[in-house]
Amino acid sequence: MKRFHVHVNVGNLDASIGFYSTLFGSAPSVRKPDYAKWMLDDPRLNFAISQRDHAAGIDHLGLQADDPAELDVIGERLAAADALALAEQGTTCCYAHSDKYWAEDPQGVRWETFYTHGSATTYSSPATRVQAGLAADGSVPSPERTAACGSACG
């Protein structure tokens, strides 16, 4: 079963951790100097916040897959919708090692679909990012689409 994912950029991490811990009735399962994450079962949600170099507000939405096969099915659906902008294998992002597909909906809302296979000691590692030409028509995604979807962890 998939888990819904929301990532919000915040201006004050400590104040936001206090607010969301009260709202969710629990402390974050991961807390770093610039990041916090709640893995909730009711609702089934991966909710993350970070205080980084981005405007405050929703950064992206997503789906967290429980296994690599489930992630591949989601990736195929995104390709069929001609929305797939970037595929990453073995990337480091948000203090985790993951495989992912980034996409944009017709309004430009960024979607991250991912399978996490381990934790990391750093927020991101640009050296592990891999561009993949997986657009539905077989073409390589444009640099504009890649930049728009793949910048969440940069």
Written as one string, the DSSP assignment of 121-147 is SSSEEGGG-------TTSPPPPHHHHH
Instruction: Indicate whether 94 belongs to any domain.
Output: yes
Instruction: Indicate whether 88 belongs to any domain.
Output: yes
Q: Which domain holds residue 57?
A: 3-7+51-149
CATH code where residue 87 lies: 3.10.180
Per-residue pLDDT of 51-105, as tens digits, reads 988 899 999 999 999 999 999 999 999 999 999 889 999 898 888 899 999 999 9
Instruction: Indicate whether 124 belongs to any domain.
Output: yes
Instruction: Indicate whether 28 belongs to any domain.
Output: no
pTM: 0.76
Instruction: Indicate whether 31 belongs to any domain.
Output: no
* Burial of 142 from C-beta contacts in 10 A (0-12 / 13-18 / 19+): exposed
Overall domain count for the chain? 1
Instruction: Indicate whether 60 belongs to any domain.
Output: yes
Per-residue pLDDT of 11-24, as tens digits, reads 999 999 999 999 99
Strand partners, 102: 86, 112
Instruction: Indicate whether 108 belongs to any domain.
Output: yes
